[in-house]
Amino acid sequence: MTWLVAEVTEIVEVTASARAITLRVPGFRGALAGQHVDLRLTADDGYQAVRSYSLADTALDDVVELAVDRVDDGEVSPYLVDVLEVGDQMEVRGPLGGFFVWRPENVEPVQLIAGGSGIVPLAAMVRARRRAASTAPFRLTYSVRSVADAFFAEELSASAGVDTTWVYTREPPPGHARPAGRLAPADLASTFGPSQDPAVFVCGPTGFVEAAAALLLDAGHDAARIRTERFGGA
């Protein structure tokens, strides 16, 4: 698969540490919700770094939409969040991956579970569902440190047919009934249970994904129905 030339056309702040980045990429075609791209950045001295980023939306050909959170000790994300400007160029390979994918023709219940910026490919699924006018029942459990750390909060909460439950690990907003804390067995009460046989998509940092998958297995979900995507970071 060839590397395509990409140019940054828009940058929008998502949180204090994350930006939505839109790239114009002639030749980029047919992405599915949940897929990712590889980005290749080349420094002035020729040094290259490649990283994978999930697509935040798959609406348009020739366009790549990302949402990138800064990993403080990372090599690439601080550049993308703090330095990158409209007009900058990089290279893109994709769309990639057929495993962590939701297709609009699927009518079965879908359970989405996101930790932090792991919401990005799941938001792409919510957007694809809306665009296709799908009636597949969606539920989303989104774990974030605080309200200020949430990506796309207003849009997700307002998505008709998508039942969103918030899990705040550090600082819940005033009046939020659930106390601060990591995803726990009780949080599965708002998710589709094993008897409803949902397709389950879990995305987040490795520790979050492992913990969420273990909770789901303990609750009786079939391992083959749980699809996971982990991203690095410390």
Partner 1 sequence: MALDGNALAGPLAGIYAFDVTTARARCAHCGVVARLARALVFASAMGIVARCRACEEVLLTVVERPDGTSVSARGLAWLRP
Could you list the residues that contact partner 1 (CB under 8 A)? Answer: 1, 36-38, 49-50, 52, 93-94, 96-100, 206, 227-233
Which residue reads 């439950």 in tokens? 165
Residue from 152, 127, 133, 141 nearest 192 by CA: 141
**Comparison of 198 and 204: residue with beta carbon closer to partner 1:** 204
What is the smallest separation between the CB atom of 161 and partner 1, expressed in angstroms? Answer: 27
Contact between 182 and 169 under an 8 Å Cβ cutoff? The reply is yes
Q: Where are the beta strands (DSSP E) in 84-158?
A: 89-96, 110-115, 138-146
Provide CB contacts within 8 A for 207, sequence distance 6+.
none
What is the smallest separation between the CB atom of 187 and partner 1, expressed in angstroms? Answer: 23
Contact between 107 and 136 under an 8 Å Cβ cutoff? The reply is yes
**Comparison of 91 and 187: residue with beta carbon closer to partner 1:** 91
Contact between 138 and 163 under an 8 Å Cβ cutoff? The reply is yes
C-alpha count within 13 angstroms, C-beta hemisphere, residue 202: 24
**Comparison of 178 and 230: residue with beta carbon closer to partner 1:** 230
Q: Exposed, middle or buried by CB within 10 Å (0-12, 13-18, 19+), for 110? A: buried
What is the smallest separation between the CB atom of 93 and partner 1, expressed in angstroms? Answer: 5
**Comparison of 50 and 219: residue with beta carbon closer to partner 1:** 50
**Comparison of 93 and 221: residue with beta carbon closer to partner 1:** 93
What is the smallest separation between the CB atom of 81 and partner 1, expressed in angstroms? Answer: 17
Report the alpha-carbon distance of residue 155 to residue 8 in Å, rounded. 24
Report the alpha-carbon distance of residue 149 to residue 204 in Å, rounded. 14
**Comparison of 93 and 139: residue with beta carbon closer to partner 1:** 93
What is the smallest separation between the CB atom of 80 and partner 1, expressed in angstroms? Answer: 15
What is the smallest separation between the CB atom of 194 and partner 1, expressed in angstroms? Answer: 19
Which residue reads 């348009």 in tokens? 60
